[in-house]
């Protein structure tokens, strides 16, 4: 996976080319983040002593999943007669697709892009980054979460949206910077036992990013009426 924060930053960045439809941009940002929740399945399997093969970059990283999500929300919109649900589903589908494309381009492993059909694609096959680079890529997760929060903070200030939440958002930003420093040091000093606390901090940060996106939907969708 590319850093989840990069996915979220890209999700916000595409809004300049996105039609102004209620919940569409929110769906794109959430869809850019949600596929990496498959790490919850990886964590559960690891704690249970079970194999983790086939749990990451498969069922949540499939173009067929993206299409299915959009289709489900389309049906919900028709039943509820609420077009915003269709917009949300379309946004989620687009966000998941962006996530898949970015993972293919920026990460040194493959993606099962048509799961459950065998379709493993790895554009970096044969490239093995050095161990120190792997460690930096892991801890950089917190750097890009911080950048995502900082970008939303600046956007909200410029637009005059979500003002009551900005102080808390600053705290979350500094918390991510703190985690970056702590886990960068631990990555190069701990001989073992690094992945458990790191995985917990990562999953909590990912959940936080999803929560922040929902909380700041007015900032993300600024200018959209209805």
Read off the pLDDT of residues 96-136 as tens digits, 9 standing for 90 and up: 999 999 999 887 788 999 999 999 999 988 888 888 888 89
Average pLDDT over the chain reads 92
3-state secondary structure of 120: strand
33, part of any domain:
yes
Q: 84 with 77: CB under 8 angstroms?
A: yes
- Strand partners of residue 109: none
Query: pLDDT band at 53, cuts 50/70/90?
Result: confident
Greater pLDDT, 192 or 166: 166
Tell me whether residue 226 is in a domain: no
As a 3-state breakdown, the chain gives helix, strand, coil percent values, each rounded to 5, of 70, 0, 25
Predicted confidence (pLDDT) at residue 224 exceeds the cutoff of 90: no
Alpha-carbon gap, residue 76 to 89, rounded angstroms: 9
* Total of domains in the chain: 1
Average pLDDT of the residues in 43-58: 88
CB-CB contact of 112 with 61 (8 Å): yes
Contact present, 45 and 68 (Cβ < 8 Å): no
Query: Which of 223, 182, 199 lies closest to 39 in space, CA to CA?
Result: 199
The whole domain housing 103 covers 4-220
Task: Look at residue 222 in the predicted model and tell me its pLDDT.
Answer: 85
Q: Give how far Cα 204 sits from Cα of 35, 41, 58, 116, 172, Å.
A: 15, 14, 21, 28, 12
pLDDT above 70 for 226: no
Query: Are the C-beta atoms of residues 51 and 45 closer than 8 Å to each other?
Result: yes
Residue 2 has pLDDT above 60, yes or no: no
Residue 61 has pLDDT above 90, yes or no: yes
Residue 163: which pLDDT band, with cuts at 50, 70 and 90?
Answer: very high
Instruction: Give the count of beta carbons closer than 10 Å to the beta carbon of residue 49.
Output: 6
pLDDT over 90 for what percent of the chain?
A: 70
Q: Which has more confidence, 125 or 1?
A: 125
The stretch 144-157 carries a mean pLDDT of 96
Residue 1 in this model has a pLDDT that exceeds 60: no
> Is residue 145 assigned to a domain?
yes
- Give Cβ neighbours of residue 94 (< 8 Å, ≥ 6 apart): 27, 28, 31, 66
225 occurs within a structural domain: no
Which of 1, 6, 13 lies closest to 142 in space, CA to CA? Answer: 6
164, part of any domain: yes
Domain for residue 113, yes or no? yes
């Amino acid at each position: 996976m590319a850093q989840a924060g990069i996915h979220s930053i890209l999700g916000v960045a595409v809004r300049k080319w996105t039609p102004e439809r209620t919940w569409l941009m929110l769906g794109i940002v959430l869809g850019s983040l949600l596929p990496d929740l498959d790490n919850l399945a990886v964590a559960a399997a690891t704690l249970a002593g079970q194999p983790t093969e086939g749990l990451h970059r498969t069922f949540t990283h499939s173009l067929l999943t993206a299409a299915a999500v959009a289709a489900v929300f389309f049906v919900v919109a028709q039943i509820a007669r609420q077009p915003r649900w269709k917009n949300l589903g379309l946004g989620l589908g687009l966000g998941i697709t962006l996530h898949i494309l970015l993972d293919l381009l920026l990460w040194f492993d493959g993606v099962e892009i048509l799961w459950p059909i065998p379709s493993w694609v790895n554009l970096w096959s044969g490239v093995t980054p050095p161990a120190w680079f792997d460690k930096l890529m892991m801890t950089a997760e917190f750097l890009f979460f911080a950048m995502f929060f900082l970008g939303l903070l600046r956007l909200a200030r410029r637009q005059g949206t979500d003002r009551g939440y900005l102080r808390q958002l600053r705290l979350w930003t500094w918390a991510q910077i703190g985690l970056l420093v702590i886990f960068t040091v631990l990555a190069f000093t701990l001989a073992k036992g690094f992945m458990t606390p790191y995985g917990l901090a990562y999953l909590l940060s990912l959940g936080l990013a999803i929560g922040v996106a929902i909380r700041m939907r007015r900032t993300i969708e600024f200018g959209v009426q209805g």
